[in-house]
Amino acid sequence: MSHSGPKTPIEARKSAALSGRVRVPGDKSISHRALILGALAVGETRISGLLEGEDVLNTAKAMRSLGASVERHGEGLWTVRGVGVAGFAAPSEPLDFGNSGTGCRLAMGAVAGAPITARFDGDASLRTRPMRRILDPLEQMGARSSHDADGGRLPLTLEGARAPIPIIYRTPVPSAQIKSAVLLAGLAAPGMTTVIENEWSRDHTERMLTHFGAEVSSKPEGVHGRRISLKGQPELKGAAVTVPADPSSAAFPMVAALVVPDSEIVLADVMTNPLRTGLIKTLRDMGAQIDELKTRGDAGEPMAEFRVRSSQLRGVDVPAERAPSMIDEYLVLAVAASFAEGTTTMRGLQELRVKESDRLAATAAMLRVNGVKTEIVGDDMIIEGRGHVPGGGVVATHMDHRIAMSALMMGLAADTPVKVDDTAFIATSFPDFVPMMRKLGAEFA
Ligand code: S3P
């Protein structure tokens, strides 16, 4: 999806107390994986609560182009009938993943294990993002790639391996996308495919592979790392998947409720996989009142209901090793840090430079244009919280949904309104964001 039409700016204004109970949309990581594993499995996969954002819809379309049958039966209710491991058909058109690095990179892994050739493409943001980190291990496994641009950027053509080779691969950066691409390619290889990561990244692929019948082992490696091994050529069987609410989307109303005075909201069914809860831990360290009310589990992933009440926050030091468990949440954490009293230092943010935008630069720009003193030192960001935010800035979105949503949350409590130049990209991950936030009391114009 190109979003080539006119820009859709929105201004967020100081709002009265937020209140109410909402369930944010399904988790994006789980939604992509349910479609891709469903497409690689034999039999039917029934998905409920699928995120119907543009990123995931592009993955659904790609799985159809690769030969799976993917059908929507109602809101969030989808079925996939897969083609079996290595059973993909060559697509007649390029696979267009729009804005989504996750959809694109995981699909590359799945295609690398099939004897087909496919062309991969995306929007202007995705075309700037590094793909070498995925192509390197996939080429070791026998796939071949050719690309028009330098450095392995999209658009590119990937030729899957005819006889995939199982490898032992140490990821150069902690990334669930690299890990998942290797494991998905490893499904088609005989023997064991192993991924070693120095920091443990989200493990949804491992959990879902097990849920679909594959044999996966995961053991500690070093201080914070993990060694994950998959037994190749399993018969993946279609399974039922319930998608819990996305903690990365819940992060926006959560932070808004903390900084808008007298707020109290409840967030239902939020996934609490410990590899995704770094933001909640950090906010609690800052003094946030976030109570876990009810906990339950579904299809290998735990979830809970959270009550969030406005809180006087204080600055904290966020250690680098926490980054993988909150990698998508630093923008909105920066908003919380701006309203806190004291300095917040977030360490080890190098991976933020290669997300939907350069989020390190974009976050600093968002804060500075709204009167918050912010410094970037090496890979760390230092924010001087003064208990309130002047606001009044116009924030550049850079085709990045999370910049748009974070800036709007800032405007709900800033002294003067905050404007976002383009909100169209919010539809990639949280299509109902504006109406849902309005329901809680957010004032947008
Ligand atoms: C994701 C992994 C993370 C994250 C992205 C979703 C996933 O990326 O930023 O939004 O679903 O595997 P990296 O693995 O590149 O850190």
Residues 203 and 251 in one domain: no
| Those residues with Cβ within 8 angstroms of residue 194's Cβ, 6 or more apart along the chain or in another chain | 166, 167, 168, 169, 227, 228, 229, 230
Looking at residue 76, what is its pLDDT?
98
| Those residues with Cβ within 8 angstroms of residue 377's Cβ, 6 or more apart along the chain or in another chain | none
Average pLDDT in the 112-116 region? 98
- At 169-192, the pLDDT tens digits run 999 999 999 999 999 999 999 999
Residues 203 and 56 in one domain: yes
Ligand 1 centroid–CA 196 distance in Å is 16
Q: Is the peptide bond before 155 cis (omega within 30 degrees of 0)?
A: yes
- At 91-102, the pLDDT tens digits run 999 999 999 999
Helix (H) or strand (E) holding 180: helix 176-186
Q: How many structural domains compose the chain?
A: 2
Residue 277's domain is classified under what CATH number? 3.65.10.10
Ligand 1 centroid–CA 264 distance in Å is 30
User: Does ligand 1 have an atom closer than 6 angstroms to the CB of 106?
Assistant: no
Coil, strand, or helix at residue 378? coil
- Choose which residue among 327, 331, 400 to substitute to test ligand 1 binding: the one with the highest number of ligand atoms within 8 A of its C-beta: 327
Residues 22 and 32 in one domain: no
Residue 313 falls inside a structural domain: yes
Average pLDDT in the 241-248 region? 97
Looking at residue 3, what is its pLDDT?
64
pTM for the structure as a whole? 0.98
Annotated catalytic residues are: 328
Residue 3 falls inside a structural domain: no
The answer on pLDDT for 110 being more than 80 is yes
Atom index in ligand 1 nearest the CA of residue 173 equals 16
Coil, strand, or helix at residue 48? strand
Q: How confident is the model at residue 151 (pLDDT cuts 50, 70, 90)?
A: confident
Q: Which residues pair with 264 in a beta bridge?
A: 19, 309
Residue 1 falls inside a structural domain: no
| Those residues with Cβ within 8 angstroms of residue 269's Cβ, 6 or more apart along the chain or in another chain | 23, 244, 245, 303, 304, 305
Cβ-contact 268, 305 below 8 angstroms: yes
DSSP sequence for 49-115 = S---SHHHHHHHHHHHHTT-EEEEEETTEEEEE---TT-PPPPSS-EE-TT-HHHHHHHHHHHHTSS
Residues 214 and 229 in one domain: yes
Looking at residue 283, what is its pLDDT?
99
- Mean pLDDT for the chain? 97
Helix (H) or strand (E) holding 382: strand 380-386
CA-nearest residue, atom 15 of ligand 1: 175
Give, in degrees to the nearest 5, the angle at Cα 119 between 116 and 122. 145
Residues 214 and 253 in one domain: no
- At 361-378, the pLDDT tens digits run 999 999 999 999 999 999
Looking at residue 4, what is its pLDDT?
62
Residues 210 and 121 in one domain: yes
Residues 104 and 162 in one domain: yes
Q: How confident is the model at residue 147 (pLDDT cuts 50, 70, 90)?
A: confident
- At 277-310, the pLDDT tens digits run 999 999 999 999 999 998 887 667 999 999 999 9
Among 197, 221, 242, the domain-final residue is 242
Among 242, 277, 292, the domain-final residue is 242
Residue 51: closest CA among 436, 430, 434: 430
Looking at residue 1, what is its pLDDT?
45
Residue 408: both structure tokens together = 């709007």
DSSP 38: H
- Choose which residue among 102, 108, 173 to substitute to test ligand 1 binding: the one with the highest number of ligand atoms within 8 A of its C-beta: 102
Atom index in ligand 1 nearest the CA of residue 174 equals 16
Q: What is the helix, strand, coil percentage profile of the chain, to 5? A: 35, 30, 40
Work out the percent of the chain whose per-residue pLDDT is above 70.
99
User: Does ligand 1 have an atom closer than 6 angstroms to the CB of 102?
Assistant: yes
Ligand 1 centroid–CA 99 distance in Å is 13
User: Does ligand 1 have an atom closer than 6 angstroms to the CB of 205?
Assistant: no
Looking at residue 299, what is its pLDDT?
62
Average pLDDT in the 261-278 region? 98
Instruction: Read off the amino acid at residue 376.
Output: I
Cβ-contact 282, 335 below 8 angstroms: no
Among 242, 260, 293, the domain-final residue is 242
Residue 279 falls inside a structural domain: yes
Cβ-contact 359, 404 below 8 angstroms: no
Atom index in ligand 1 nearest the CA of residue 351 equals 16
Residues 144 and 293 in one domain: no
| Those residues with Cβ within 8 angstroms of residue 213's Cβ, 6 or more apart along the chain or in another chain | 234, 235, 236, 237, 239
Domain ranges, residue 427: 10-26+244-444
Atom index in ligand 1 nearest the CA of residue 248 equals 10
